[in-house]
Amino acid sequence: MDEYCDNEHCEFPAVTSVPVWDGSQESCRWLCATCLEAYTIGVQYGKYVARKDPAGRAPGNPVSQ
């Protein structure tokens, strides 16, 4: 375990590691609690955007957003 968060703009202690896709290989990055929350929100948003249809509608929502 790394001692500090791998985010270059953060100096808090690391609490957990998360998987990241680094070009052609999967690796892990150590994050503090604050950066972990931001990472989790970003992953959830990315999965939501990926599920939208080409017209930009969310699944189950007939009205364009």
Q: What is the mean pLDDT of the chain?
A: 79
Q: Where are the beta strands (DSSP E) in 23-60?
A: 25-31
- Average pLDDT score over residue span 50-59: 64
Please check the confidence at residue 25 and state whether its pLDDT lies above 90. Answer: no
Q: pLDDT tens-digit profile of 29-44?
A: 999 999 999 888 887 7
- Among the listed ranges 14-18, 26-30, 46-50, which one has the minimum average pLDDT value? 46-50
CB 7 within 8 A of CB 14: no
State the Cα–Cα distance between residues 22 and 29, nearest whole angstrom.
10
Handedness of CA 29, 34, 40, 46 (dihedral sign): negative
